[in-house]
A and B are shown apart, each in its own frame.
Chain A
Amino acid sequence: MIFDWDFAYSILPNLVDAVWVTIAATFWGFLLALGLGLVLALLRRSRFRLISWPVGFVIEFVRSTPLLVQIYFLYFVLPEFGLVMSPFLTGVIALGVHYAAYTSEVYRAGIDGVPKGQWEACVALDLSPYRTMRSVIVPQAIPPVVPALGNYLVAMFKDTPMLSAITVLELLQTAKIIGSQTFRYLEPLTMVGVIFLLLSLVASMMVRLVERRLAPAQSSPLLDYTK
């Protein structure tokens, strides 16, 4: 079997359509992971054990079970309780929640890395716990962990083919369908691999760009999130 360039060219439009689904799932999933992860990280630090313990348990639980199981659970089990979501929305939520468990640990490391003196200055200025986090701690906790968060962006992107298990028409699912219809798998699967490679490289470059913009952490007005 040799690589048929004409066939490859003919299926390219289908794959390009599917790329957008993959990118959209990654984008919304990562947005959810970034937001929910920060919320989980902050709740886990709560001084009320009634909050911090259950949250800690949920984080450990999500991190210790396979993403595919979580995807199936959301897709096949939740409807039995009356909660029906589209495959795409299910996939975004599964990716977002799964990676939120990881990003929450990244945020936690970032928060732990803020010097003790910063917390003490907040006490001395009588800032509320909310204001301490929002104005002082979180803006300093995030820039150092951008590379780690970026790694999870790339990792999540590469996990989107799992959504093919619940019929989301992302890249892999589309390639599989092409294969089963034409009995040619070499071209579609090769192209999927190459597309993932290219997009991963682009994503890594973007992460590095963000990192570099955040680098002069001591003096950059970019960090002034609260304005």
Chain B
Amino acid sequence: MSQIDMSAPPMVRFRNVSKAFGDLVVLDDLNLDVQPNEKVAIIGPSGSGKSTLLRVLMTLETIDSGVIEVDGEPLWHMRRGDKLVPASRGHLREMRKKIGMVFQQFNLFPHMTVLRNVTEAPIHVLGLSKEEARARAVELLEMVGLGDKLDSYPANLSGGQQQRVGIARALAMRPKVMLFDEVTSALDPELVGEVLTVMRRLAEEHDLTMLMVTHEMGFAREIADRVCFFDSGRIAEEGPPSVIFSDPKQDRTRAFLSAVLNSQ
């Protein structure tokens, strides 16, 4: 597994980030540093703001206050002299290139073939030629075990296959940070394994910073460098999986884990 340099500047940094939907506070003065190559699993009860954390990173939701930095640059702001001003659309578009996301509901483009799902953005955003984009897509689709499905449409694939296309599509943009938002939650139980296998390979073989919101505790324990237990918009407890899963300090963490592990 790739090494994590704890002295390197963080790849993702949340500084006092808050976000509310009306009266509901989903991110409450959140601080979080994620090192390059680090694999962070985010667990916690539903409605605790786990997904929002990923969604503000992908710029799908705005933040109310605080600063998020990705790869040393503010995400929702731009530096102007010493001051931070709100990000322009151009700045957001540049920053998004560093980040890829895989969705719970896959969100594949249903009217495009698998191949075109994976080549569309590299061609039109990165400016790759059709041949380059195709070569990149074929390589990625083979890596996720779908080298024979290039010309299929998403509707003709199983959920697990669709989600693997979703992973290949995000990777085709060569992001530095990959966000996985409950990527196995919409899958039939027997299809979860194939997606986790792909993610495991990614974690082991690629220099990628990964943030994963997941309910797969066994998986989190196996591949995460760090587990963050999220509750009420804050990280209530964090640490290596061996500690969080075996010896949690907080009552809330213990209560959550025993509830989840008993139901699995």
Q: Which of B70-78, B97-105, B191-199 contacts A (4 or more CB under 8 A)?
A: B97-105
Please name all residues of chain B whose beta carbon is closer than 8 Å to the beta carbon of A135 when the two chains form the complex: 109, 112, 120, 124
B112 touches A224 (CB 8 A): yes
Known contacts being A120-B60, A218-B153, is A126 close to B173, with CB within 8 Å? yes
Interface centre among A117, A126, A140, A223 (most CB of B within 10 A): A126
B59 touches A123 (CB 8 A): yes
Residues 86 to 136 of chain B near chain A (Cβ within 8 Å): 93, 96-97, 99-101, 103, 105, 107-113, 116, 120-121, 124-125
Cβ contact of B125, chosen from A126, A221, A224, cutoff 8 A: A126
From DSSP, what is the main secondary structure of chain A's interface residues?
A: helix
B96 touches A117 (CB 8 A): no
B173 touches A136 (CB 8 A): no
Q: Does A217 contact B (CB under 8 A)?
A: yes
Please name all residues of chain A whose beta carbon is closer than 8 Å to the beta carbon of B107 when the two chains form the complex: 115, 117-118, 120-121, 124
A118 touches B96 (CB 8 A): no
In the assembled complex, the Cα of A219 lies from the Cα of B96 at a distance in Å of 30
What 1/0 mask marks residues of chain A from 95 to 115 whose CB sits below 8 Å from any chain B CB?
000000000000000000001
Q: Does A198 contact B (CB under 8 A)?
A: no
Please name all residues of chain A whose beta carbon is closer than 8 Å to the beta carbon of B96 when the two chains form the complex: 123-124, 126
Please name all residues of chain B whose beta carbon is closer than 8 Å to the beta carbon of A120 when the two chains form the complex: 58, 60, 103, 107
A126 touches B109 (CB 8 A): no
Interface centre among B111, B116, B156 (most CB of A within 10 A): B111
In the assembled complex, the Cα of A141 lies from the Cα of B34 at a distance in Å of 39
Cβ contact of B109, chosen from A118, A123, A220, cutoff 8 A: A118
Q: Does B67 contact A (CB under 8 A)?
A: no
Residues 5 to 42 of chain A near chain B (Cβ within 8 Å): none
Q: List 18 A-B contacts (CB under 8 A).
A: A120-B103, A121-B103, A123-B60, A124-B100, A124-B103, A125-B121, A125-B173, A126-B173, A127-B120, A127-B124, A128-B125, A140-B109, A217-B111, A218-B111, A218-B154, A218-B155, A219-B153, A220-B111
Q: A117-B103, A127-B120 are known contacts; what are 20 more A-B pairs with Cβ within 8 Å?
A: A117-B107, A123-B59, A124-B60, A124-B99, A124-B100, A124-B103, A125-B125, A126-B93, A126-B97, A127-B121, A127-B124, A127-B125, A128-B124, A135-B109, A140-B111, A218-B155, A219-B153, A219-B156, A221-B113, A224-B112
Closest 5 CB pairs of A and B: A218-B155, A125-B121, A117-B107, A121-B107, A124-B101
- A residues sitting closer than 8 Å to B (CB atoms) are 115, 117-118, 120-121, 123-128, 131, 135-136, 139-140, 217-221, 223-224
